[in-house]
Amino acid sequence: MNLMERMFLPAIFKGMSITFSHLFKKRPTINYPEEQRPFSAVFRGLQILNRDEEGRERCTACGLCAVACPAEAITMEAAERQTGEEHLYREEKYAAKYEINMLRCIFCGLCEEACPKDAVYLSQTFAPSNFGRTGFIYGKDDLLIPNPLTDPEGHAKAKGTIPQAK
């Protein structure tokens, strides 16, 4: 080991050069939540209960999504559509209650694949943090997409990538 190496100067200069080289590189960090990274096209986020183009609920409470769910996260109660409710529900049966336990959900997407009515799909949003367990039981009010006829902006937002606080 020569004198320079004994003084560790080469190693110090090499380390400093690496440090300075990072000053001119693009920052990998972003100012969340003001800035947000785009999700991958295959990202599977929070479920949404879908409506048709006339704003009617698509779900018929057939239960296939609950059967397909490996985490047993979905529960529902079916009801018969009454006369005069044709503008609310697409089929003769609908889900009077539909719940997903987000603490159980593993976002596998099997519920979406199992649904024959295009009624549930995983969006590009995610479940916001919460201090209580009950806040992670998402009911129909939380899951149902806004009506595209009466609330086109909310409908577009629900399909987008902006997380919505509960």
Q: Tell me whether residue 71 or residue 88 sits nearer to ligand SF4 (CB atom).
A: 71
Q: Tell me whether residue 95 or residue 148 sits nearer to ligand SF4 (CB atom).
A: 95
Q: Could you say which residues in the range 62-101 bind ligand SF4, by CB under 6 A?
A: 62-65, 68-69, 71, 73-74, 76, 95, 100
Total residues binding ligand SF4 (CB under 6 A): 27
Determine the number of helices (DSSP H) and then strands (DSSP E) in the chain.
Answer: 6, 5
Distance CA 110, CA 68 (A): 6
Q: Tell me whether residue 63 or residue 154 sits nearer to ligand SF4 (CB atom).
A: 63
**What's the maximum distance between 2 C-alpha atoms anywhere in the chain?**
95
Q: Side-chain half-sphere of 166: how many Cα atoms within 13 Å?
A: 18
Distance CA 87, CA 43 (A): 32
Task: Using CB under 6 A, list all residues that contact ligand SF4.
Answer: 59-65, 68-69, 71, 73-74, 76, 95, 100, 105-111, 114-115, 117, 119-120
